[in-house]
Amino acid sequence: MVTVVPLGLKPALDRVAADVDRYFDHLLALPDDARRPLYEAMRHATIGGGKRMRPLLVCAACDIFHVDRLRAMRVSLAIECIHVYSLIHDDLPCMDDDDLRRGRPTVHKAFDEATAVLAGDALHALAFETLADPETHPDPFVRVELVAELAKASGPAGMAGGQMMDLAAEKETFDLPTVTRLQQLKTGALIGFCLEAGAIMGHVAQEGRTRLRGYARDIGLAFQIADDLLDVEGDTGATGKAVGKDAAAGKATLVSLLGPKRARQQAELLVDQAVAHLSSFGPEADLLRAIADYVVARDR
Amino acid sequence: MVTVVPLGLKPALDRVAADVDRYFDHLLALPDDARRPLYEAMRHATIGGGKRMRPLLVCAACDIFHVDRLRAMRVSLAIECIHVYSLIHDDLPCMDDDDLRRGRPTVHKAFDEATAVLAGDALHALAFETLADPETHPDPFVRVELVAELAKASGPAGMAGGQMMDLAAEKETFDLPTVTRLQQLKTGALIGFCLEAGAIMGHVAQEGRTRLRGYARDIGLAFQIADDLLDVEGDTGATGKAVGKDAAAGKATLVSLLGPKRARQQAELLVDQAVAHLSSFGPEADLLRAIADYVVARDR
């Protein structure tokens, strides 16, 4: 599939990544008291790493509706706060017990477990503080809607619920619909919010919102399959984290249930479907189209 | 000191406690899928225990400004979500490593560590979801202000920051001003929000807000001294949790720095000061006055 990328995905990604780093550097200025290690741990986890896929999605969705870049960046920061807090807690010894993340020591390795728990908690609160600030949007209704949707996407009916299902997946073998639902909660809900946020800030009517949700659902799942494929086929050097963990844990994934070949086909189908949801948008949605393709191509 | 308690503190506390349980029971209905253990853990931690001091403070502050009871209860639930998540994470082996809380096994003992981390995270998100819901208040500006203040009170510049200082207190000996600041962040910020929430929902002018903040600051510190005294003087049967932990960890507390006698005098002074902040209010603030007295009396 050939997609027109007027801005180019690489420059867009690089710009978003640089902006996210710069904003976090500002937001997490080191305090001159005993809270310092907490901020150092938060900085370690947020600055200078990660694909910044979620901020890119926010900015791409905001571009469609000509939402101010500063506002898009503040929502991006909030989402990264949630995403990163979940990674910090996920990496803990009692969870996935990972030593490496984004090619660097995980927070509990670089600091200690207690600091890792608190750094995750602090980023969690910071996400909502960031959204609720008038700098994010002058309209309180928009701000509180962003808060409501992010809280739903990350709470027990969203990401945290999906993580619980993921723990259960180590003990019982889930079927395809259950693993699909697990992934939709664990990673899909937050990706859905990235697109939803653009629609909320752009005051988009219901139909446009439904299309963006469809796009998010499809690329979310494709993204997860690509991640699972990396876990099976990737190497630590390329991914910056330990590989083969799901298989070692005997966990059913979309890839283990479908097999790598059908899983890849499924991911490509999902990408086509995702792009089809954007058919009513013009070239202003080209960045979203390019991202959809990138999702399945990024590890090859 | 004799305080008129028209409603009576005990009935008010009992009513709030029963309401909090009932609302949590409704809010945390068990789902029929693999997320069930997450909800069970959240229910274990939130229902049927605790002094419910924070919800009582919210309701007492709301009473002054004739704020609807349902609204006061929803804010109370949000605060309890935050308070309880912090207890769950605080009890983890990598933090305080406590087996007992409110006379029952802590969440990581009754379930496991991973479930405890997730249950805390899920309650954290649920707090903001609850505040952002239109049922909490019809005015989006009020809702988003509640979110902003609760996020600040619980994040790195509030509770999480105080907990980080608390970890540092195990390694270095803090002086009185530093321990005071630690406590103001760790427990004072959230207690401050309880009063602030009443003022926000009651659309109170700045002066009333400043008075309530003063009250909150003073009883927050008195509350902490009373807690520290319980840790020194209490027994597990009465407190429902392990005692003598701070002394064993060699941690400086307001009680260890002042000695039990001066600490108790200080708490009583703070209570008088707290009540003085309420002088411009009439009998509608009597419940707050009674709470202030109860704070230092509750363990005797």
Residue B30 placed within a domain = yes
Chain B contact for A97, CB < 8 A?
no
Whether the predicted pLDDT of A108 surpasses 70? yes
Residue A1 placed within a domain = no
Residues of chain A contacting residue B137, judged by C-beta atoms under 8 Å apart? none
Whether the predicted pLDDT of A233 surpasses 90? no
Report the residue from A89, A122, A169 with minimal CB separation from B121: A89
Residue B2 placed within a domain = no
DSSP, res B243: -
Calculate mean pLDDT across residues A98-117: 95
What's residue A296's pLDDT?
78
DSSP, res A185: I
Residue A201 placed within a domain = yes
Residue B1 placed within a domain = no
**Residue A141 region, left (φ>0) first, then alpha (ψ -120 to 50), else beta?**
alpha
Question: How many CB atoms are closer than 10 A to CB B256?
Answer: 18
CB contact under 8 A, A147 and B168: no
Residue B80 placed within a domain = yes
- Work out the minimum CA distance from A11 to partner chain B, whole angstroms: 33
CB contact under 8 A, A167 and B118: yes
Chain A contact for B165, CB < 8 A?
yes
Instruction: Identify the band that residue A163 occupies on the pLDDT scale cut at 50, 70 and 90.
Output: very high
Burial class (CB in 10 A: 0-12, 13-18, 19+), B194: buried
Give the model confidence (pLDDT) of A269-289 as tens digits: 999 999 999 999 999 999 999
Going by C-alpha positions, the residue among B136, B138, B162, B156 that lies closest to residue B58 is: B136
What's residue A170's pLDDT?
87
- CATH number, residue B170: 1.10.600.10
What's residue A297's pLDDT?
75
Q: Are A24 and A43 in contact (CB under 8 A)?
A: yes
Helical H segments across chain A, by residue range: 9-27, 36-46, 53-64, 69-90, 107-110, 113-132, 140-154, 159-168, 176-183, 189-201, 206-233, 236-239, 245-248, 254-258, 260-276, 286-297
Please state, in angstroms and rounded to a whole number, the distance separating the CA atoms of residues A189 and A58. Answer: 14
Please state, in angstroms and rounded to a whole number, the distance separating the CA atoms of residues B62 and B71. Answer: 9
Q: Are A235 and A243 in contact (CB under 8 A)?
A: yes
Please state, in angstroms and rounded to a whole number, the distance separating the CA atoms of residues A6 and A9. Answer: 9
Instruction: Give the C-alpha distances (Å, rounded to integers) separating B106 from B91, B112, B160, B167, B203.
Output: 7, 10, 20, 20, 39
* pTM of the complete model: 0.94
Report the residue from B131, B132, B155 with minimal CB separation from A126: B155
Give the model confidence (pLDDT) of B61-76 as tens digits: 999 999 999 999 999 9
Q: By residue range, what is the domain housing residue A177?
A: 9-297
On average, the pLDDT of chain B sits at 91
Give the total number of structural domains in chain A: 1
Residue B4 placed within a domain = no
Closest-CA residue of A relative to B133 is A148
Q: Are strands A100-101 and B104-105 parallel, antiparallel or unpaired?
A: unpaired
What's residue A6's pLDDT?
38
What's residue A4's pLDDT?
35
Letter for the amino acid at A188? G
Calculate mean pLDDT across residues A198-218: 94
Chain A contact for B39, CB < 8 A?
yes
User: How far from each other are the two terminal CA atoms of chain A, in whole angstroms?
Assistant: 15
**Backbone torsions φ then ψ of A165, nearest 5 degrees:** -60, -35
Please state, in angstroms and rounded to a whole number, the distance separating the CA atoms of residues A145 and A198. Answer: 12
Please state, in angstroms and rounded to a whole number, the distance separating the CA atoms of residues A266 and A253. Answer: 13
CB contact under 8 A, A163 and B118: yes
Residues of chain A contacting residue B125, judged by C-beta atoms under 8 Å apart? 124, 151, 154-156, 158, 160
Calculate mean pLDDT across residues A39-66: 95
> What proportion of chain B, given as a percentage, has pLDDT over 70?
91
Residues of chain A contacting residue B42, judged by C-beta atoms under 8 Å apart? 156
Which residues face B101 on adjacent strands? B104
Residue B3 placed within a domain = no
Letter for the amino acid at A172? E
What's residue B5's pLDDT?
36
Going by C-alpha positions, the residue among A36, A115, A17, A82 that lies closest to residue B129 is: A82
What's residue A238's pLDDT?
53
**Residue A71 region, left (φ>0) first, then alpha (ψ -120 to 50), else beta?**
alpha
At residue B54, the 3 state secondary structure works out as helix
Going by C-alpha positions, the residue among A150, A254, A265 that lies closest to residue A201 is: A150
Question: Could you read off the pLDDT tens digit of each residue along chain B, which spans 300 residues?
Answer: 333 333 468 899 999 999 999 999 999 999 999 999 999 999 999 999 888 999 999 999 999 999 999 999 999 999 999 999 999 999 999 999 999 998 899 999 999 999 999 999 999 999 999 999 999 999 999 999 999 999 999 999 999 999 999 999 988 899 999 999 999 999 999 999 999 999 999 999 889 999 999 999 999 999 889 988 988 876 555 555 555 666 666 788 899 999 999 999 999 999 999 999 999 999 999 999 999 988 877 544
**Backbone torsions φ then ψ of B116, nearest 5 degrees:** -65, -45
Please state, in angstroms and rounded to a whole number, the distance separating the CA atoms of residues A254 and A234. Answer: 16
The predicted complex's ipTM stands at 0.93
Give the model confidence (pLDDT) of B223-262 as tens digits: 889 988 988 876 555 555 555 666 666 788 899 999 999 9
